[in-house]
Structure 1
Amino acid sequence: MGENIENFIQYLTNVKRSSNNTIASYRRDLNKLTEYMSLNKISSFCDVNNTMLNSYILKLEKDGMSSATVSRNVASIRSFFSFLLNQGIISKNPTENIKPPKVEKKTPETLSIEEVSLLLEQPSGKSSKEIRDKAMLELLYATGMRVTELISLKVSDVNISLNFVQCIDNGRERIIPFENAAKNALTKYLYQVRPSMCGDSEFLFTNCKGEQMTRQGFWKIIKLYATRANIDKDITPHMIRHSFAMHMVNNGADLRSLQEMLGHSDISTTQIYLKSKRSKLKEVYDKAHPRVGV
């Protein structure tokens, strides 16, 4: 069974060009399924049927797994068995009648524009570290890119003169513009700090030892400045991404452009930010219209 999973992982990597996070999730989900199969003395994917899979999904729910996580498991299993069917390993797809639980998409928590401004003002010192941190935070909010994309940027990915950055995720490339605040912070970092901090590293941002910045390292940077700013929220890099998207929508950005900037493969993922805008419009209407309370 392990060989079937590894072949599927290779398919996701080389053919589908799925993201590293997606591949890791699929592998984890399928390994969990094989553990359940072993407990039930099922040694081949050919012996898996609809009843067994529905029992497995019910078990995940009873174990307290969230609806979103159960749904992702269902998606992983469906994709895997479709792959096995196409490869001729199984003769019938046992996932045809499996239904994932309904998942209500929640509006993501974001920072207000004032909170973002306060956060970005925190690295205001003249030390090399604060100049680097300022550039990273400004670029993150200016582009809405994922933290993994930010720390993977190469110097050659940034075009300072034309105000855009080239973001590459698993072979998929997108161009994201950035505004002058990010440009100014990047320019200062590139010419005053980076040569001595990064040495001959190809990465745009490194730690103080000249090594590639890690997700954990950047997470600590955000926590430091959030504490300084006295912002009473559990700020994460992804919250800044959500804030970028929400602020863009609220200020008139169209969803298709935002989808391209965020790198969403499906526009339904981007539409969640529109839900918040509609809620805000309703709130404004209820407060302003003279006959709401009649």
Structure 2
Amino acid sequence: MPNRKHLTTSEINEMLSASLAGKYPERDWCLIQMCFLHGLRASEACQLRTSDIDLRDKVIYIRRLKGGFSTVHPLTQDELPHLKRWIKQRNQMRGADSEWLFLSQKGGQLSRKHVYTLIKRYGEAANISVTSHPHMLRHACGYALADSGADTRLIQDYLGHRNIRHTVIYTASNPQRFTGLWQKGVNRK
């Protein structure tokens, strides 16, 4: 499957595990996890601000690019501990007074190029069979939501798509939608 454009949930888990051996494991785990859970583009992740996070109400403001709809997402119970650890470490780094959630080693805003490098490196370290890039995490989010039975319109809103055509790729390839098709009384001749 060399032309696959998404990662599987197990591959993402392997990538997360590989990030623990990186120089900034808290940041990188949080970055990968949030890109997947919120369907973030690399640029959207880089432009997250600390003010976009509300730990008390457990929500995050997602500022969509490319003309997408911005929205507020709930923070999951799985991501909260990682996010809190990263914020605690971030606040002790050079550049802690910066507005950006994800900081570089020099304390500035993490670049889109660096996110690509990290995702590729952790994909290789996890022995993922395809060359990994950040947009694969966004697609993985869409497929995971479709596989869990989420409605196409809900996925559209969650990913910020203005056009439903960009969303149906996730639900059209969901094999679970065919489960039980022959058991529902379809006439077999």
TM-score grouping bracket, smaller chain normalisation: 0.7 to 0.9
Contact 2:46 2:102 in 1 (8 A): yes
1:149 has 2:44 as partner: yes
| C-alpha separation in 1, matches of 2:155 and 2:144 | 11
Question: Counterparts of 1:102-121 in structure 2 under 5 Å?
Answer: 109-121=5-17
The alpha-carbon distance between structure 1 residues 219 and 226, as it changes in their structure 2 partners (threshold 3 A), is same
Give the counterpart of 2:31 among 112, 136, 143.
136
- AA matched with 2:92: P
The alpha-carbon distance between structure 1 residues 224 and 197, as it changes in their structure 2 partners (threshold 3 A), is farther
When Rg is computed on C-alpha atoms for both structures, the one with the higher figure is 1
Q: Which runs of 4+ in 1 moved over 6 A?
A: none
Deviation of 1:285 after TM superposition, in Å, equals 6.5
Contact 1:108 1:242 in 2 (8 A): no
Aligned residues between the structures: 182
- AA matched with 1:129: Y
Contact 1:197 1:210 in 2 (8 A): yes
Runs of at least 5 residues in structure 2 that lack an aligned partner in the other structure: 184-188
What is the aligned partner in structure 1 of residue 92 from structure 2?
A: 195
Contact 2:90 2:96 in 1 (8 A): no
| C-alpha separation in 2, matches of 1:206 and 1:124 | 17
1:235 has 2:132 as partner: yes
Deviation of 1:163 after TM superposition, in Å, equals 2.5
Deviation of 1:153 after TM superposition, in Å, equals 0.7
Deviation of 1:198 after TM superposition, in Å, equals 2.9
| C-alpha separation in 2, matches of 1:161 and 1:136 | 20
| C-alpha separation in 1, matches of 2:153 and 2:173 | 17
Deviation of 1:195 after TM superposition, in Å, equals 2.8
Residue deviations 1:42-70 (CA, integer Å, cap 9, x gap):
xxxxxxxxxxxxxxxxxxxxxxxxxxxxx
What is the aligned partner in structure 2 of residue 122 from structure 1?
A: 18
Question: Counterparts of 1:212-227 in structure 2 under 5 Å?
Answer: 212-227=109-124
Higher RCO (CA < 8 A, seq sep 6+): 2
- AA matched with 1:110: H
1:164 has 2:59 as partner: yes
Deviation of 1:197 after TM superposition, in Å, equals 4.0
- AA matched with 2:158: M
Percent identity at matched positions?
Answer: 27
Contact 1:139 1:178 in 2 (8 A): no
TM-score (norm 2): 0.84
| C-alpha separation in 2, matches of 1:268 and 1:209 | 41
Q: What CA RMSD, in Å, does the superposition of the two structures yield over aligned residues?
A: 2.8
